[in-house]
Amino acid sequence: MSNTPLDLRSAVLDQIVPAGEPWMGTVERGQILRIVDLEGNQAVDTLFYNAHATEERYSAVDTIRAQGNIYLTTGTELRSSLGATMLTIIEDTCGRHDTLGGACSAESNTVRYALEKRHMHACRDNFLLALARYDHALTKRDLPSNINFFMNVPVTPAGELHFADGVSAAGRYVQLQAQMDVLVLISNCPQLNNPCNAYNPTPIRLLIWAAG
Ligand SMILES: [Zn+2]
């Protein structure tokens, strides 16, 4: 990986994902995926699958154990359920990403906020919608613990999780290089009840560059 900045005009994909919407696509081995937090402190709930054998998928536990650290940033190897490196974080202008907090769902909205929040749009619904649109037989049981890019969930010395104010800002990005062909499943979180995004979901930009 050279230190030459990547030319935005040479990206093979350059797409805005609107606030609250899902996205699913493939990143081939060697390709570079950049996720840009366009307006700041947007949670980008993300899962990865081996594109050729989707029963192999991102594993938060294997990733944490492999690097001996709970936070994801530059140098983190995102490990699969079989222990393989799926992607490597090669650049990170945010500095910290969470993989403990999980994705919001109708159920968690009810428990965390209020009963009448049950029917609000949530990441789990986004994941299921994207999977249903995609031509694959993946369902609810294929949703393991996810990554929350740009989300700040510090763990206290006593081991408590805190959903803290974000450390990201407009224009910050995380860049990953695929070590295998991966299916990428994103929910650009629609959450309206959590101060982590200032109660204001915002769009993200996805860029992919060819290998080499
Ligand atoms: Zn969410």
What pLDDT is recorded for position 92? 97
Distance 15 CA to ligand 1 centre (A): 20
- Largest Cα–Cα distance in the chain? 51
For residue 52, give the DSSP letter.
Answer: T
Please report, rounded to a whole number, the percentage of residues in the chain having pLDDT higher than 90. 75
Distance 189 CA to ligand 1 centre (A): 4
Higher-scoring residue by pLDDT: 42, 117: 42
Distance 126 CA to ligand 1 centre (A): 9
Q: Which residues share a beta bridge with 163?
A: none
Distance 147 CA to ligand 1 centre (A): 11
pLDDT one-digit tens code per residue, 148-199: 999 999 999 999 988 877 789 999 999 999 999 999 999 999 887 777 677 7
Q: What sections of 26-144 are H helices per DSSP?
A: 60-67, 106-112, 123-133
Residues within 5 Å of ion ligand 1 by Cβ?
A: 104, 123, 189, 191
Distance 145 CA to ligand 1 centre (A): 13
Question: Binning pLDDT at 50, 70 and 90, where does residue 123 land?
Answer: very high
Question: Binning pLDDT at 50, 70 and 90, where does residue 4 land?
Answer: low
Higher-scoring residue by pLDDT: 30, 201: 30
CA 89/CA 176 separation, integer angstroms: 4
Distance 153 CA to ligand 1 centre (A): 14
Distance 100 CA to ligand 1 centre (A): 13
Question: Binning pLDDT at 50, 70 and 90, where does residue 11 land?
Answer: very high
Distance 108 CA to ligand 1 centre (A): 10
What pLDDT is recorded for position 173? 98
CA 209 to chain centre: 18
What pLDDT is recorded for position 3? 57
Distance 1 CA to ligand 1 centre (A): 32
Distance 54 CA to ligand 1 centre (A): 23
pLDDT one-digit tens code per residue, 18-69: 999 999 999 999 999 999 999 998 999 999 999 999 999 999 999 999 999 9
Phi and psi at 140, nearest 5°, equal -55, -35
Distance 212 CA to ligand 1 centre (A): 34
CA 31/CA 12 separation, integer angstroms: 10
Q: Is the pLDDT of residue 72 over 60?
A: yes
Distance 72 CA to ligand 1 centre (A): 18
Q: Is the pLDDT of residue 113 over 70?
A: yes
Distance 122 CA to ligand 1 centre (A): 5
Tell me the whole-structure pTM to 2 decimals.
0.93
What pLDDT is recorded for position 111? 75
CA 149/CA 194 separation, integer angstroms: 15
